[in-house]
Amino acid sequence: MNVFGRVKTSINTREAAERYGVEVNRHGKALCPFHNDRNPSLFVDDDHYHCYACGEHGDVIDLTAKLFGLKLYEAAQKLAYDFGITQDKPPDKAMQEKQNRKSEAQRLRENEKLCFSALLEYMKLLQEWKRLYVPRTPEDKHDDRFVEACHNLDYVEYLVDLLIMGDSYERKEVIEMVMTDSKLQKLQKHLKKVRKEEKHIGEQEL
Angle at 32 between CA 26 and CA 36, to 5 degrees: 135
DSSP character for 50? E
**pTM for the predicted model, two decimal places:** 0.59
Angle at 205 between CA 204 and CA 206, to 5 degrees: 95
Q: How far apart are alpha carbons 128 and 175 in whole angstroms? A: 25
**pLDDT for 141:** 87
Q: What φ, ψ does residue 43 adopt, rounded to 5°?
A: -105, 125
Beta carbons of 28 and 35 less than 8 angstroms apart: no
**pLDDT for 89:** 53
Walk along the chain (206 residues) and give the pLDDT tens digit of each residue: 688 888 988 999 999 999 998 989 889 999 898 887 878 899 999 999 999 999 999 999 999 999 988 899 989 988 988 888 865 555 555 555 655 666 777 777 888 889 999 999 999 999 999 999 999 888 888 899 999 999 999 999 999 999 988 877 788 889 999 999 999 999 999 999 998 888 766 666 55
**pLDDT for 139:** 83
